[in-house]
Amino acid sequence: MSNVNNNAEHNVNEVNNEKGRRSGNGFRFFGNPKLRKSLRILWNNPKLVINAVYSFFVCLRFFGLKFYKFPAIVDFGSKIRKSRKARLEIKGRLFLGGKYIGEQSGSCAYMKLPRGASCLIQGRVKLGPGVRVILEPGASLSIGDNTYITASSVIHSASSISIGSDCAIAWGTTILDTDFHRIVYEDGKQNSISKPIVIGDKVWIGCNCTILKGVTIGENSVVAANSLVYRDVPPNSLVAGNPARVIKTNINWSV
Ligand SMILES: CC(C)(COP(=O)(O)OP(=O)(O)OC[C@H]1O[C@@H](n2cnc3c(N)ncnc32)[C@H](O)[C@@H]1OP(=O)(O)O)[C@@H](O)C(=O)NCCC(=O)NCCS
């Protein structure tokens, strides 16, 4: 009788082990369910491990002893090129290049901070794959908490660009605060080559927009897809077109 019981118990254990094996549970020795879950995620996504190692070295290089806080999570292949005389301050966490935001591009993200440039990240900021942030010497960029910029957008500054908190900037958008070249008009006037751009809090910029020098976009406004903005946008308004015109006022939008 006891032999029969032992056999039954043995069979139950076998079935349980087989279930464990089939569900891919290779971590049943770790008692903590959270640890087990994290390990399973890493096991199923080996790229996360590569990104973690890559981010470790990037953080070690740019943030010295503060590397252990992982101020930047950098997708493998995405690059930060920073001069020793440039400033990169992250008060939160910068996600650079990962697929977690915007899958419209497969390429790597890139940040260039030459001598005298300054970049301030104030909170959790996500820059998607293919995003290029290029600052000229002496230029400055600040991005607020909970703002994300999706695939293949370009931010190019020779003066200053400030982007508020809770902004959503869709793929293919270009934010450019400089003309690069001088124009002399018939009456002798000249264009002012660079002027700062200010984008307020909770601004949504649709895909493939262009925001030019000197523009201030008021908080809670929306820029419709494919618009070109070269004049200020009042707060709480929807602008659209090329050149962008105010289409609606007193709007509100939600994520
Ligand atoms: C801004 C947007 C959300 C507005 O949508 P909506 O509220 O349904 O607006 P409607 O289609 O009713 O258009 C409202 C007015 O704006 C105009 N308009 C809307 N989008 C426009 C555009 N991209 N260019 C020019 N005019 C535009 C319309 O002609 C219309 O004008 P009218 O009232 O004189 O007829 C939408 O136009 C848009 O751009 N969507 C894309 C968003 C995007 O890029 N998302 C990426 C992920 S974040």
Q: What is the pLDDT of residues 63-120, one digit of tens each?
A: 887 777 788 889 888 999 999 999 999 999 999 987 766 666 678 899 999 999 999 9
pTM: 0.81
CATH topology of domain 71-249: UDP N-Acetylglucosamine Acyltransferase; domain 1 (2.160.10)
Report the nearest atom of ligand 1 relative to the CA of 226.
23
* Separation of alpha carbons 21 and 31, rounded Å: 17
* Separation of alpha carbons 215 and 239, rounded Å: 13
At 20 the pLDDT is 47
Closest residue by CA, ligand 1 atom 34: 247
Residue 204 C-alpha from the chain's centroid: 15
203 Cα–ligand 1 center, Å: 15
Percent of the chain past pLDDT 70, that is, above it, reads 85
Sign of torsion, CA 104 117 202 212? negative
String of DSSP letters for 191-252? ---B--EEE-TT-EE-TT-EE-TT-EE-TT-EE-TT-EE-S-B-TT-EEETTTTEEEESS--
Report the nearest atom of ligand 1 relative to the CA of 224.
39
At 28 the pLDDT is 57
At 128 the pLDDT is 92
Q: Where are the domains of the chain?
A: 25-67, 71-249
At 49 the pLDDT is 83
User: Per-residue confidence at 30, pLDDT binned at 50, 70, 90?
Assistant: low
Mean pLDDT, residues 125-144? 96
For residue 51, which phi and psi values (nearest 5 degrees)?
-65, -40
Residue 62 scores a pLDDT above 50: yes
